[in-house]
Structure formats: structure tokens, C-alpha cells
Chain A
Amino acid sequence: MNVPANPDEDRALVNRVLAGETAAFEGLVRRWQTPLVNLAWRFCRDRGRAEELAQEAFLRAFRHLAQWRGEAAFSTWLFALAANLCRTELQRVPATMLSLDEIAEPAEDRDPVAALDAGRQEESIRRAVLALPPKYRDAVILYYFHDQDVPAAARTLGVPEGTVKARLFRGRELLRSKFSRPRAPAGNAKLSAAQPREAR
């Protein structure tokens, strides 16, 4: 989720907000709203909830703006704050009740990848990510959110790059194992992951 880097502009806006000019925060909101909503979207895959999470992340950023020391980019601080919020909120109310076992199984007796059209398969993979154990889920989500940039994902997660790589590897292994699993016997149809079940 690339936004043209302009750290000086962010810093100037932050300084104005800290000086009491609340309206200057709008510059930060307009600049970072799309990445932040998308970050939340990847965690919950629900537009309404993603916007609520992004709004809460902006509010927290506003409350704790003085805590940004400027050592890291403003976006790094903001994404870390938002990712933490998403993780906490997902712990409280999970995005989906599907487990890895419940993610869409191939419906026909063919090669599972060939059996699904590309769009459906991609959606199934995205939903399967949400069913991963949280530490693998977070690494996978942030790696792809940051356009496959491991250092950026590590900074957002606040863990070493090696940890992100290991979690990413394990997360991908889990996804592969899921999508290469022999299909269930006919009549034992699983719930399609492409159709989110209402949270209990």
C-alpha cells in the first residue's frame, strides 16, 4: 500500500496539531485514510468494520500524537498503532468464525486449483488467511499490505525480520496444506468461505 513518502509534510502537520490546530489533522487523515482502511480491511474483510477500525485508529493517533517521536516514519507509527488495534479487536470479535477446515473445498473431482475459477479461488485464499493462527495471519497480512516488503512488515509488527520470514513461511505452508488437501467425500459439503458466516 504505497503512498508517496513525504515525511516532512507529515511532521509539519503533526507539529501543527500538537500546537493546537486540530484542523491540521485532516491533512493526515486524507493522506493516510486509504492505506489505513485497507489495512483494517485485510484484517476483517468487512468494509463497515474496516472503516470503524480505521476511524478508531485515527482517533487513537490523535490522542497519542505526542508519543510519535519522529525516529520512525509517521506511517510506520500509524500502521503499527492500527495493526495493534485490529489485532486486539479481532481477538475480541473475530472477523470470521470459519476455521481452516471450513474454507471452501473443491466441489468437483478435479484438480482443486483448476476446479475453481481464479476469482473464487483468490477470495477463498484471502478468507483462509483470516483463519490462520493470529501470529501467522498478522505476518501474511502485513507482508502483502506492505507490497511484499519484509522489513516494513517487521517494523509494523515490532518484531525482527527473521521472525516475520519464519511466520510468513509457516503461514504459507498452512495455506498450501489447506488448498492441496484431498477433497472431502461427496455429501460432506463444507461451508464456502466466500460466503462469510454471521459471527456468533
Chain B
Amino acid sequence: MKRNHPNPALTDLQLDAALGSEQDRILPSSGFADAVMAAVRQEASAPAPIPFPWKRALPGMIAAVLLLGAMLVFAARAFWPLIRQAAAAPAASGAGSALAPFLRSAVNPTVLWGMASVAVPLVCLLALRRTIFGR
């Protein structure tokens, strides 16, 4: 580490003397260890943070995800004929006629069930997320 430097202004020796000096040391104040131990005891006596109850929440979360998946499949099957019908509509007739089958079938009970089957699990999931994460 020690080397001669062409600049005589500040030598390694002077740097070592300044930075490694015994004078550059302090002693902790007399009550330091007691203060640390008081903080440590407070830390030790504080109740541990309540862990998230994964064991209880997990089955519900898995059930919700499965339900959502099942509902999506159900909804896809309900909407599939309409999607095919819309895709088969002549392109020249414009977006209005492409949407017409959807609009016509809006009152169809099967479609209503399909929409509800998507909306309900979504709302449940959002509510669950809000409960868990608080936002």
C-alpha cells in the first residue's frame, strides 16, 4: 500500500498519521450500553407482528380462483356462438351490424348468466384483495 508519490505535499505517511491516529478514536458515553440494552429489551418484549393467516385464507383463495376459472369457461361457452356469428357477418356492413347479434342477445338468459358468472367472481376477488392488502 505504501508508495512514494511524486507530490511532496501530502505523503502516505501523513495520510496514515491523520486517518489512523489514536486521537481519532472516541469512547462511547457511559450510558450507551444501558441505552442499547433498554432498546433491545423493548424490542424483545414487543409482540411479534401478527402473520397473515395463510392456512385459513389459502383454501378460500384457491376456491375463488377455481370458481373464476369455471365461470370463465362457462362464459366462453355461452358467448362462443355469438362470437362466431359476429365474425361471419359481412365486413362491409360495418361495426354496427357486427355488434347486432350481441345487442339482440343481450336479453338472452344464457348470456345474462354468462355475464353474471364473470362479474360475481371478479367482484369477490376484488373484495378479497381489498380485505387482504387493505387497498
Q: Knowing A29-B33, A29-B37 touch, does A176 contact B7 (C-beta < 8 A)?
A: yes
CB distance from B32 to the nearest CB of A (A): 6
Residue from A58, A63, A172, A176 within 8 A of B36 (CB atoms): A58
Give the secondary structure class of B's interface: helix
**CB-based contact B16/A113 at 8 Å:** no
**CB-based contact A34/B17 at 8 Å:** no
| B→A interface (CB under 8 Å) | 1, 5, 7, 9-10, 12, 14-21, 23-29, 32-33, 35-37, 39-41, 43-44
CB distance from A177 to the nearest CB of B (A): 8
**CB-based contact A122/B36 at 8 Å:** no
CB distance from A19 to the nearest CB of B (A): 13
Residue from B20, B21, B26, B41 within 8 A of A50 (CB atoms): B26
Identify the stretch in A37-45, A73-81, A190-198 within 8 Å (CB) of chain B at 4 or more residues: A37-45
Residues of chain B with a CB closer than 8 A to A112's CB: 9
| A→B interface (CB under 8 Å) | 1, 22-23, 25-26, 29-30, 33-34, 37-38, 41-42, 47, 50-51, 54-55, 58-59, 62-63, 111-113, 121-123, 125-126, 129, 140, 144, 147-148, 150, 165, 168, 172, 175-176, 179-180
Cα A62 to Cα B7 in complex, Å, equals 47
Cα A168 to Cα B15 in complex, Å, equals 12
Residues of chain A with a CB closer than 8 A to B7's CB: 176, 180
Residue from B9, B18, B28 within 8 A of A54 (CB atoms): B28
Residues of chain B with a CB closer than 8 A to A179's CB: 9-10
Cα A29 to Cα B34 in complex, Å, equals 9
**CB-based contact A148/B1 at 8 Å:** yes
Q: Knowing A62-B40, A147-B20 touch, does A37 contact B32 (C-beta < 8 A)?
A: yes
CB distance from A127 to the nearest CB of B (A): 10
Residues of chain B with a CB closer than 8 A to A125's CB: 10, 14-15, 18-19
**CB-based contact A148/B18 at 8 Å:** no
Which chain A residue lies CB-closest to B5? A176
**CB-based contact A148/B20 at 8 Å:** yes
Residue from B1, B10, B16, B36 within 8 A of A55 (CB atoms): B36
Residue from B15, B28, B41 within 8 A of A37 (CB atoms): B28
Which chain A residue lies CB-closest to B2? A148
Which chain B residue lies CB-closest to A36? B28
Which chain A residue lies CB-closest to B3? A169
Cα A41 to Cα B26 in complex, Å, equals 8
CB distance from B35 to the nearest CB of A (A): 6
Residue from A51, A140, A144 within 8 A of B32 (CB atoms): A51
